[in-house]
Amino acid sequence: MAAEGVATGAATAHLTMVQAINQALDQALAQDERVVVFGEDVGVMGGVFRATDGLQAKHGAERVYDTPLAESGIVGYAVGLALAGMRPVAEVQFAGFLYPALDQVLSHVGRYRHRTRGRYTVPLVVRAAYGGGVHTPEQHADSPEALLAHAPGVKVVVPSSPARAKGLLLAAIDDPDPVFFLEAIKLYRSSREAVPAEPYRLELGRARVAREGDALTLVCWGGMVEVCLQAADVAAREGVELEVVDLETLVPLDEETVLASVRKTGRAVVVHEAARTGGFGAEVAARIAEGALFHLLAPVARVAGWDAPYPPFTSVEHHYRPDAARVLAAVREALLT
């Protein structure tokens, strides 16, 4: 996959997404002494996914450290650090364990700037592994992006590749507002990509066209980008060119890129792995209805998880998480209209 927008020319290495994230954290720690990295098991062990591997040894236990096992405490403590001038980067092991911290997210993280009329801000980053496809136990595969996106005042970023992840994470750490950075577990090690060695930042709040096409727009983010690109490959063999729009940032949403694509193709399918009802796909579908209804040749369709908790049952998990076949079935239906 081409890493468009990513600086080229300098030395690159072929990295997995988790390695790219590790490199971003390493460079953020080196560039800005206000950055601290903490969470459950991030210090000595380097995080359950090794995203913080080696960082404590390199930057010291004052800057990279373990916290007690308490998500509300982690996020609430990060709020305090941020408003006292630090740049905290907290890790929550699995987004399904963000729920104890949602109180902090909804009550404080998203409100501080507004509540103090800009006097205090909380430029924090919370990284959390999300999503399925790797046969995890119960509650380790949840995709709570819609819960976060519904809290005004926070930003929600979901990278889809190693090079994108690095640039977006460095931008998130610099951002003056709180950013939730959701990393698809499925993508952590599934592929490698050329990642420039020097630090670089990608703009938040921009969707990107990951593949151009004219027949239909697939809107997706994070772990579903890979799935949608697979579906587009299959369709292309049948002569149907699908456009894939990777939102990357859910909040603030780059509606224009989505609408421009749908106005061109006339058809849209939104794909996500969270449950369908009230999922972020509903927001995208509503925006398309508001902004491009008269360009539509077919109803906007959604391919999503079912309205049930994400199943931890290995042999049926793939029925829950959208795959290329389900995406293509929705595409066919839309194209028949």
Site residues for other proteins per CB under 8 A: 36, 62-63, 67-68, 70, 72-73, 75-86, 88, 100, 103-104, 107-108, 113-121, 152-153, 155, 175-177, 205, 251-253, 255-256
The answer to whether 114 is a known catalytic residue is no
Q: How far is CA 252 from the centre of its chain?
A: 13
In this structure, are residues 162 and 2 in contact, taking their beta carbons and an 8 Å threshold?
Answer: no
Instruction: Please give the Cα distance from 243 to 252 (Å, whole number).
Output: 22
The smaller minimum CB distance to other proteins, of residues 28 and 81, is found at 81
Least distance in angstroms from the C-beta of 214 to other proteins: 26
Least distance in angstroms from the C-beta of 103 to other proteins: 6
In this structure, are residues 261 and 217 in contact, taking their beta carbons and an 8 Å threshold?
Answer: yes
Longest C-alpha distance within the chain, in Å? 60
Instruction: Please give the Cα distance from 160 to 182 (Å, whole number).
Output: 10
Q: Tell me, what amino acid is at 73?
A: G
The smaller minimum CB distance to other proteins, of residues 107 and 190, is found at 107
Least distance in angstroms from the C-beta of 170 to other proteins: 17
The smaller minimum CB distance to other proteins, of residues 63 and 326, is found at 63
Q: Tell me, what amino acid is at 202?
A: L
The smaller minimum CB distance to other proteins, of residues 14 and 114, is found at 114
Least distance in angstroms from the C-beta of 320 to other proteins: 31
Please provide residue 46's backbone torsions phi and psi, each rounded to the nearest 5 degrees: 85, 20
The smaller minimum CB distance to other proteins, of residues 251 and 292, is found at 251
Least distance in angstroms from the C-beta of 326 to other proteins: 30
Structure token digits, residue 212: 């151009």
Q: Tell me, what amino acid is at 224?
A: M
Catalytic residue among 59, 108, 140, 272: 140
Lookup result for tokens 């990357």: 248
The smaller minimum CB distance to other proteins, of residues 204 and 224, is found at 204
Least distance in angstroms from the C-beta of 112 to other proteins: 8
Least distance in angstroms from the C-beta of 107 to other proteins: 4
DSSP string covering 165-221, please? HHHHHHHHHH-SS-EEEEEEHHHHTT--EEEESS-----TT--EEEE--SSEEEEE-
What secondary structure letter does DSSP report for 32? -
DSSP string covering 230-287, please? HHHHHHHHTT--EEEEE-SEEETT-HHHHHHHHHHHS-EEEEEEEESTT-HHHHHHHH
The smaller minimum CB distance to other proteins, of residues 73 and 266, is found at 73
Reduced 3-state DSSP string for 114-180: HHCCCCCCCCCEEEEEECCCCCCCCCCCCCCHHHHHCCCCCEEECCCCHHHHHHHHHHHHHCCCCEE
Give catalytic residues, as residue numbers.
Answer: 140
